[in-house]
Chain A
Amino acid sequence: GAGVSQSPSNKVTEKGKDVELRCDPISGHTALYWYRQSLGQGLEFLIYFQGNSAPDKSGLPSDRFSAERTGGSVSTLTIQRTQQEDSAVYLCASSWAVNTEAFFGQGTRLTVV
């Protein structure tokens, strides 16, 4: 596709349920990032994938959060046993390589009720 695509655009889930958020990066981009944007807060780094290297998971807030990237392309962010504080916009970005311009998707707005 022409840009980074995220799905779903909006997700409302009940507290305690698991959710999966999907990111389709721009074709050929080797680097993929997940950020979280909460109300009144800046974007918070979650995880970084670069090619076949081990991902940097240092930004994941708890062990309920996990992410994978299959075949160096599509990435899925999974949140288990969702809590209300997980409500936020989850943004995915990709770039051709490290230190090159990152292009963001439109985000997934997650609401935990």
Chain B
Amino acid sequence: TQLLEQSPQFLSIQEGENLTVYCNSSSVFSSLQWYRQEPGEGPVLLVTVVTGGEVKKLKRLTFQFGDARKDSSLHITAAQPGDTGLYLCAGLNSGGSNYKLTFGKGTLLTVNP
């Protein structure tokens, strides 16, 4: 069974601070996705990283995929209250069941004005 450990589980910071969320596994994934989920809504895809060592930037968000494709991080610079939400990482299985996403438990981020 492939597992994704996400940390921290909860994060409360002030507007303007930087933060990093981590997603770790002992398994190799063919790709890793980051989602953001707001209350009462489904997750919305932010980014997909595919290549080991890959770095992608989305405005103030920087996503990195580990060289061994087992871990990933999400860094937010100068957080804003609009960044508040549940951030989920999800790994796409390799091999036959390459449609199954294995999700971490999520990081609940609160950015206070």
Q: Say yes or no: B97 contacts A56, CB within 8 Å.
A: yes
Identify which of residues 59-113 in chain B touch chain A, using a CB-to-CB cut-off of 8 Å: 88, 90, 92, 97-106
Decide if the interface of chain B is mainly helix, strand, loop or mixed: loop
Q: Say yes or no: A102 contacts B45, CB within 8 Å.
A: yes
Partner of A48, one of B4, B6, B45, B100: B100
State A48–B99 Cα separation when bound (angstroms): 8
Identify which of residues 10-47 in chain A touch chain B, using a CB-to-CB cut-off of 8 Å: 31, 33, 35, 40-45
User: How many A-B Cβ pairs are below 8 Å?
Assistant: 56
Partner of B90, one of A43, A56, A105: A43
Q: Which of B4, B41, B45, B99 has the most CB of A within 10 A?
A: B99
Q: Say yes or no: A107 contacts B105, CB within 8 Å.
A: no
Partner of A43, one of B44, B97, B98, B103: B103
Q: Say yes or no: A42 contacts B4, CB within 8 Å.
A: yes
State A42–B92 Cα separation when bound (angstroms): 14
The answer to whether B8 has its CB under 8 Å from any CB of chain A is: no
The answer to whether B53 has its CB under 8 Å from any CB of chain A is: no
Question: What are the 8 closest A-B residue pairs judged by CB atoms, nearest first?
Answer: A104-B42, A42-B103, A43-B103, A42-B105, A98-B99, A104-B43, A45-B100, A105-B42
